[in-house]
Chain A
Amino acid sequence: MGTRRLIPIIITATIAGIIFVGAFSGFGPLVMFMGVGMKWMVIIGGVAAGLGAVNLTQIHGRDFLRRRKEWWNSLALLVVMFGTIVIGIAFSPTHVIYRWLFDWVFTPLTTTMVSLLAFFIASASFRAFRIRSLEAGVLVGAAFLVILGRSAIGTEIWSGIPVIGAWIMDVPNVGGSRGILLGASLGGIAVFLRVILGIERGHFVG
């Protein structure tokens, strides 16, 4: 293994090891180091946002300068991104201009995208809920009972519908969710061990 790979692995293993032991032992100096490490992480998190902006500028700046296909979209992205950054830094996020951009440009655009989901869901559920087998029938039945159970109309049809809908959410749903949570947690521990032991090296690439 080359030095370029070995040094990051040693740094990762050392810091993760100190934080891991510090969290479980409560040993003073290690806990103090944990505090410093956490502050570093918050700072790195802030810097990462800036790094994202640099990356976007490189990719879309190149597309714009070389007049690649649909270059005007890249130009629009850069103008909007830098315009918002400059206004946010020069004034503040509570300034009237920044507020206006957020309330009357950003919010309507993002909410419109999500609102379209109502129509996509109508179309997708129409296709997904084709009852071609017993399993599909059970899926449709369960979905209907949960939807009706959480609306006023379900109670009007039969008072038992909300009870059955709640049972589906409380028993099969929770059972499935717990299984997924446990599996994901065990997977997380395995990945943590692979990273600090230097077995997982995918994050060094790129």
Chain B
Amino acid sequence: MQPQHIIFLILGTVMVALLIWAPGMEYSIEESTLSFYRAIDELPAGSLVLVGADFDVENRAEILPQMEAILRHLMEPDRDLRIISISMWDQGPMVMDVFLRRIGDELGRTYGVDYVNLGYAPGVHTMIRLISHDFRGAFVRDFSGTPLDELPIMDEAGGILDIPMIVDFADRESGPIIYLEQVKTQNPQIKVLASINAASFPPLEPYLQSGQVDGAVVGLKGAAEYEELMGMEGLGKRGMDAQSVGQVLVMALIIAGNVVALIIARRKKGRVVG
């Protein structure tokens, strides 16, 4: 067994143990997560919300805990918000469909009336621009093949410009940025919220600081924070405990490696001088 295999074994064991044990660490809640939560809270009852499913399943470890907490917030029956979900990339709708239907059933929401999944349409920037005034510009049927005319929620939904809030679940910064470029430039009143994986967040931060993005839930920590705000116990908190300890373990190994390298270098130097 090579030394790196021992490190991998320790790392894997620690992370799996913490996922099972879940000690329940406490996290400070970031301002961006609070802004995200408040924006949904302040949305008038009965409003339409566009939910983007702009992620690939490979990033599900971060995105799914975020989706679980945020969709529960959006679909609370008292809030009476109506959801239209679309996707600029092809894998998101498969996952979004399962989540919307499961949470919708649990919370007594009706498909086609309270929420709908229109699925994927190609074109990325162009597709979003096309549905500015009418969703029928790019979508004829929903993800299950039902014509839009048979879905009551689509009767009152014109295009994206008529919707007051966009919540984008994305694993690349280009998802929310496309909504800013193609939608918010046409109607600055529309709130754009980003629920994004941690690796994609740094390029999005300038947009958050400038106020163009109105709130952001970032990575597994964001999911854990949102669960805290929702009073939930979910995969976000559990995963964040494992991730935190895993990161500290890697840092400890880096420090140890540097100390050992320094000692070896000094010994070699001593031998040369001697």
Contact = CB atoms under 8 A, between A and B. Distances in A.
Interface stretch (B24-32, B69-77, B78-86): B24-32
Contacts of A45: 122-124, 126-127
A96 interface: no
Contacts of A169: 202, 205
A174 B206 contact: yes
Among A130, A150, A174, max chain B CB count under 10 A is at A150
Interface in B201-217: 202-203, 205-206, 209
Given A92-B144, A147-B251, A151-B247, A119 B8 contact: yes
Contact of B94 (A102, A114, A126, A153): A102
B206 A177 contact: yes
Interface in A118-136: 118-119, 121-123, 125-126, 129-131
Contact of B244 (A49, A99, A152): A152
A35 B159 CA distance: 14
B59 interface: yes
B115 to A, nearest CB: 15
B7 interface: yes
Contact of B209 (A99, A110, A151, A170): A170
Contacts of A81: none
B8 to A, nearest CB: 5
Given A92-B145, A152-B26, A42 B138 contact: yes
Given A111-B60, A130-B258, A151 B248 contact: yes
A113 B58 CA distance: 8
A202 B200 CA distance: 30
Interface in A141-196: 144, 147-148, 150-153, 155, 162, 169-170, 173-174, 177-178, 180-181
Nearest to A41: B126
A122 B205 contact: no
A101 to B, nearest CB: 10
A38 B130 contact: yes
Interface string B235-274: 0000011011111101101100110010000000000000
Nearest to B222: A150
A110 B57 contact: yes
16 contacts: A38-B123, A42-B121, A48-B122, A94-B144, A125-B250, A126-B254, A129-B257, A147-B247, A150-B219, A152-B25, A152-B26, A153-B25, A153-B244, A153-B245, A169-B205, A181-B203
Given A122-B253, A123-B7, 13 more contacts: A42-B127, A107-B57, A118-B246, A119-B8, A144-B251, A147-B247, A147-B251, A151-B244, A152-B244, A153-B248, A170-B209, A174-B209, A177-B205
